[in-house]
Amino acid sequence: GAGVSQSPSNKVTEKGKDVELRCDPISGHTALYWYRQSLGQGLEFLIYFQGNSAPDKSGLPSDRFSAERTGGSVSTLTIQRTQQEDSAVYLCASSSPEVQLFFGSGTQLSVL
């Protein structure tokens, strides 16, 4: 597709379970970002990948959160031992470096 694709679009899980969220960036975009949007809050930066450089993980809220980007393309955000406060919309974006960000539609995560 032409845009950033995220899956699943909705995920309901039980507290304590692990979840994986997937992001397919726009072809050719070397930069990939993960943001989190909680109800009534602005977007919160989580992690940034740029080419083969070490990712900027400074926004990850705890060590339960991790992300990887394989082959410079697809990225997976993993949340281990989910907590209710992890419930949010997780947004992925991609761009050519330092140019406009294109966001996906997000994954709505609900932790019961």
Partner 1 sequence: TQLLEQSPQFLSIQEGENLTVYCNSSSVFSSLQWYRQEPGEGPVLLVTVVTGGEVKKLKRLTFQFGDARKDSSLHITAAQPGDTGLYLCAGAEGGSNYKLTFGKGTLLTVNP
Nearest approach in angstroms of CB 16 to partner 1 is: 28
- Which residues here bind partner 1, judged by CB under 8 A? 4, 31, 33, 35, 40-45, 48, 50, 56, 58-59, 91, 93, 95, 98-101, 103-106
Q: Among residues 1, 4, 94, which one has the least CA distance to residue 49? A: 94
Nearest approach in angstroms of CB 106 to partner 1 is: 6
C-beta closer to partner 1: residue 1 or 42: 42
Using an 8 Å Cβ cutoff, are 107 and 86 in contact? Answer: no
Nearest approach in angstroms of CB 77 to partner 1 is: 15
